[in-house]
Copies of this chain bind each other. A is one copy, B any other.
Amino acid sequence: MMIEKRLCIVGLGLMGGSLGQALREHAAYVVGVDRHAATRRQALADGVVDFATADLSAALDQTDVLLLATPVKSILNILEQLPSLKPDGCMVMDIGSTKLAINETMSQLPPSFSAIGGHPMCGKEVAGYQAADPEMFRGAAFILTRSRRTTQEIEELALSIIKLLGAKPMFLSAQRHDQVTAAVSHLPYVVSAALTRAVSKQHEQALWQISASGFRDSTRLAGSDPQMLLDILLTNRTAVLENLQIYKRELEAVIGMIEEEDEASLAAWLSEAQRQHIAYRQEKDASG
């Protein structure tokens, strides 16, 4: 399948770079917008884009479909400028990590725009174009959130792109998306970062040498792009705080049980966590 329209990918980092690499052979023409000159040079050298620029407004002139792959606040900023930058309108899809604020801003676009929100549930703890991987989306859930500007045309295009990526489309309201990802994605980011910070306070030369795969895996997310995380935490603040409070109560409960050496409660607390982990793994294995 070929996308005959002219694509413009804004942000050629981990996510946008991966998107560009995955779509390359299926897209007639792609322009890449990125503020880093080294990234633009590399994407051009790789043949991932036909043209690379730091100037969004110049790129927009020749764009039919705009794919926004920057951190959330930058996506919001671009959406707000779009009506003046591209008065005739175009098709817009974003792949930002939170969806409610983006959805509201998308819905304010003039009717000349058709727009849909997207969020591929995949990633890596390494930021930047160098870490891009066209296979990253394969098998991942790709959430789509409809806005007031979602037309059948942009929805069909989004589904075609998701199919090309090998991901699994799933429609969810922006609000529900932000609630669920606050739990399964944003909370783990904060937990991993807090864990990395707490353990790094230890004064033992051989600390990292002693650490095993359990530490590696439970702190992996701490390596994620701080700007991406910052925008996530600030644009999904209420749901993230709710989940942090639920999490903090679990932590306080287990601290109390250890303090009081309440062996029976502690055993039940740990066993329930193991049971939930097994239930999660089974459902994950079953859904392939």
* A interface residues with partner B (beta carbon < 8 Å): 121-123, 125, 140-141, 143, 170, 172, 176, 179-181, 183-185, 187-202, 204, 206-227, 229-230, 233-234, 237, 240-241, 243-252, 254-255, 258-259, 261, 263, 266-267, 269-274, 276-281, 283-284, 287
Q: Which of B122, B192, B201 has a CB less than 8 Å from the CB of A246?
A: B201
CA distance A245 to B258 in the complex (A): 12
Q: Which of B217, B243, B252, B281 has a CB less than 8 Å from the CB of A217?
A: B217
Secondary structure at the A interface, as helix, strand, loop or mixed, is helix
Closest to A120 in B: B212
Q: How far is the CB of A58 from chain B (nearest CB, A)?
A: 30
CA distance A246 to B198 in the complex (A): 6
B189/A214 in contact, CB under 8 A: yes
Closest to A180 in B: B204
Closest to A226 in B: B270
Known contacts A210-B180, A281-B223; A198/B243 CB under 8 A: yes
Chain B residues within an 8 Å CB radius of A206:
141, 170, 172, 180
CA distance A283 to B180 in the complex (A): 35
